[in-house]
Structure 1
């Protein structure tokens, strides 16, 4: 901010001049407004405050270094899901300075100051995102932790937190109480959302990227606007006409409404999920005696149907509780529900309940391990099939993983079966199903009325491929030698069509009936 601008702004902020906001306050509040203009505004050292804002909002080597260090700490804290490490990143983040500077530039109607602080802010944001993405790219850990997930669904409460924190931060800057900035930086959490944006960029996860970006933009805009309001209130900036004040207020309201609409929708979704959680707990509790306790309840709202997992400590086992609970939950929540219910039978003694809770905790740990294994299986199967992890179908209850493979250059049906066998050997407790593309089926060699060794292997390969794809197969060959092939296919439960041929030779040829849709 130029010295001449600073001096002019300070000169205009003396008692008697006031701002349009001060005059409005005087008209509305009467003596209170006059007291504010006469006693509070003159007590502010405007030149010193502006110099301090300038210093905090400058693009310096120290600023760039602290941005990199803060981003590195933040992204490591997110990957490790360590709140303590994430808080450490908030404490050293220098982003609050240029955002407050942007707000003061808006209050002073100083285009040069707005451009300068915007450049400082843009440079810091770009450094933080790219450095965080670089750390994640080379990190062996790329799972979405609870700390990351918490910053992908901003809501209206986040806007209010940013607003209150910004008002406190601007007040601390103006009144010379900079120590409060530390608490404000923690509350608004400017750096962790940027590190989460970097995570989304490195992993090409659009949900994480845009969700955390919205959270950061919410904090940024709210802090800047609140800082501008506080600066005007304390006499910073030139006099504005009634029309200019109205336009300024309209812009502020429009920006806040633009942020509030998507955040309000997100908050309504979160509120619905909280109500659904309570309803699910009440519905399940009604299926058991009064002494029973719902020890664990988890709902996956991202799938269809809703996946509900619950653990109940009950003195009386109820055989039909899962089926009845699934029906009642679907009726209460208005969406299809798949319920997985674990019942631990306990007595009324305290020792029984404690033992049951220990058993329940062990079951939860086992469930967590099963989920981690399922995620690993899904990633490995996706890599082998050449598809995105989202394309893999996982059924943890049946321990089944299935994926439709992409066409790989030079691959044959035997290649895909070998890939499936390789992964099945690595995860023997899981049933792997790799659905191959409808590549040419092998020729079945015959020696008289018997299969050759290669013919038997090729027949097993063809049966495997037909089972995986679900496409009927046409068998071509002389009836006298093709009967054994037809019989093997029928025993495997595969749709088969016979196409008798008078061609000389005993070999059997197989083709796909591609006009039939894949089941």
Structure 2
């Protein structure tokens, strides 16, 4: 028995001795830290001040402009100004030492700064002519486990630098990188009413915020900062921190797995198209729509020889490999030489760029017309070939045909190179007033409006009045292509117009 104990001690003594030595060394390291000075410094930088508010706005403004321009350099430049490190580390240290008044003050500063940054970014986006989802914005809408890692490493660097007295701009940039771009993306989603961007960026911001705060609290505890918490409260806090990290990691892990699956699907599609057309062919474009059901794959291939049946074979193979229903739109462009391939690819790239610009222009025009007409966007008809847009306006209380005529003029003024046609409701046609045997100024304008309304609605118009005046109105409207019919009745000084049924009957 004694020999067994001696054998066990020979194995355990070196380990226990090393652990004891490590603990003594760590206590020496912790004693070197001026905890009071560190806490006062963090506390002083974690409150709400006018400087904090101003620098938050400036950083948010630069960040959203950089994201609208899809410029990583500008986004990084915004991080140099961000003051978010102060309150977020303040929350972490306040949790570690159990100072709930400090926690409340730091949380208030962070909350107000967050709201201010979001609203400021939303204002800039609302005033900006650029409201397209760029790659910089899209990158902040699908958080995954890697984003959790970025926040974790940023928090470790920030807390270590603050505790060891080596804090500075670079550490602030590390933390701001995890927080300010998501805030700017949230502002973009709010301004454009894009709730997918708003929700994805909000989840990323919450993930980063929680990770940084809790990591800072753990770092402060590891370095032995004094705490007012009891042993039971400390244990409870540790359990909560671990639970939160696990709760965040699970959905982010699923998101990362989905992104990895999509990347693998894209790689398989590239390999499949390459195998189908050979080494001399080149894939000019490969797009996936993973949200569609079935998954939509669009590819453009520059090949020296057109391959028959390639689209169907690619569909079956991809469907088998991915285990999902797939549709494939495979466009083959035959080229002869490498130089021709390069020039063709350049031409295709320009065509895609123009098509993307046209889609953006059409979407913007559709949204504006829908807003003007008070209808849904899908009720606006757009013909990109003739550059014509047609929208049927809902009846507005108290509005006459002149109102809808003015709406069309304003819409055309805002849509250069487009023919915008507003289809009005069949309101009463205006009367044509006369002076000295000719339509006066008001009568001429009313005639223009009546001709416009008749053209838009393609409905016959009845004309009643004195023979001479009615003949003048009918001649001018007929010359404009309007189907006019003479109706009995005379009104002194003006000609009355009314809508008719297509068979010639009175439509009143």
Higher relative CO (CA 8 A, sep ≥ 6), structure 1 or 2? 1
1:122 to 106, 111, 121: 111
Relative to structure 2, which stretch is displaced further, 40-49 or 373-382?
373-382
| Aligned residue in 1 for 2:134 | 145
Q: How many residues align?
A: 429
Report the CA distance shift for 1:377/1:285 in structure 2 as closer, same or farther (over 3 A): farther
Report the CA distance shift for 1:281/1:111 in structure 2 as closer, same or farther (over 3 A): same
Q: Shift of the alpha carbon at 1:425?
A: 12
1:363 to 341, 347, 351: 351
Q: Shift of the alpha carbon at 1:294?
A: 1.3
Q: Shift of the alpha carbon at 1:142?
A: 2.2
Structure 2's unaligned 5+ residue stretches are 1-14, 430-449, 460-502
**2: CA distance between counterparts of 1:431 and 1:333?**
47
| Aligned residue in 2 for 1:215 | 204
Relative to structure 2, which stretch is displaced further, 154-163 or 74-83?
74-83
User: Is 1:185 aligned to residue 175 of structure 2?
Assistant: yes
**Which aligned pairs between 1:366-445 and structure 2 lie closer than 5 A?**
366-389=354-377, 408-409=396-397
User: Is 1:88 aligned to residue 95 of structure 2?
Assistant: no
Q: SS of 1:92's equivalent?
A: coil
1:98 to 87, 96, 103: 87
| Aligned residue in 1 for 2:465 | none
Report the CA distance shift for 1:140/1:428 in structure 2 as closer, same or farther (over 3 A): closer
Relative to structure 2, which stretch is displaced further, 74-83 or 304-313?
304-313
Q: Shift of the alpha carbon at 1:181?
A: 0.8
**2: CA distance between counterparts of 1:303 and 1:396?**
24
Report the CA distance shift for 1:330/1:366 in structure 2 as closer, same or farther (over 3 A): farther
Q: Shift of the alpha carbon at 1:284?
A: 2.8
1:114-138, Cα deviation, whole Å (9 max, x unpaired): 0111111112112212222222222
**1: CA distance between counterparts of 2:325 and 2:405?**
38
Q: Shift of the alpha carbon at 1:428?
A: 12
| Aligned residue in 2 for 1:351 | 339
| Aligned residue in 2 for 1:236 | 225
Q: SS of 1:297's equivalent?
A: strand
Report the CA distance shift for 1:299/1:89 in structure 2 as closer, same or farther (over 3 A): same
Larger-Rg structure: 2
Q: SS of 1:81's equivalent?
A: coil
Q: Shift of the alpha carbon at 1:89?
A: 1.0
Q: Shift of the alpha carbon at 1:201?
A: 1.9
**2: CA distance between counterparts of 1:433 and 1:273?**
43
Question: Contact 1:385 / 1:405 at 8 angstroms: preserved in 2?
Answer: yes
**1: CA distance between counterparts of 2:173 and 2:240?**
29
**Which aligned pairs between 1:279-318 and structure 2 lie closer than 5 A?**
279-318=268-307
1:234-266, Cα deviation, whole Å (9 max, x unpaired): 011227655333311211022223322332333
Question: Contact 1:289 / 1:316 at 8 angstroms: preserved in 2?
Answer: no
Structure 1 length-normalised TM: 0.70
Report the CA distance shift for 1:306/1:509 in structure 2 as closer, same or farther (over 3 A): farther
**Which aligned pairs between 1:267-286 and structure 2 lie closer than 5 A?**
267-286=256-275
1:225 to 201, 214, 220: 214
CA RMSD of aligned residues (A): 4.2
| Aligned residue in 2 for 1:5 | none
Report the CA distance shift for 1:389/1:257 in structure 2 as closer, same or farther (over 3 A): farther
**2: CA distance between counterparts of 1:327 and 1:411?**
57
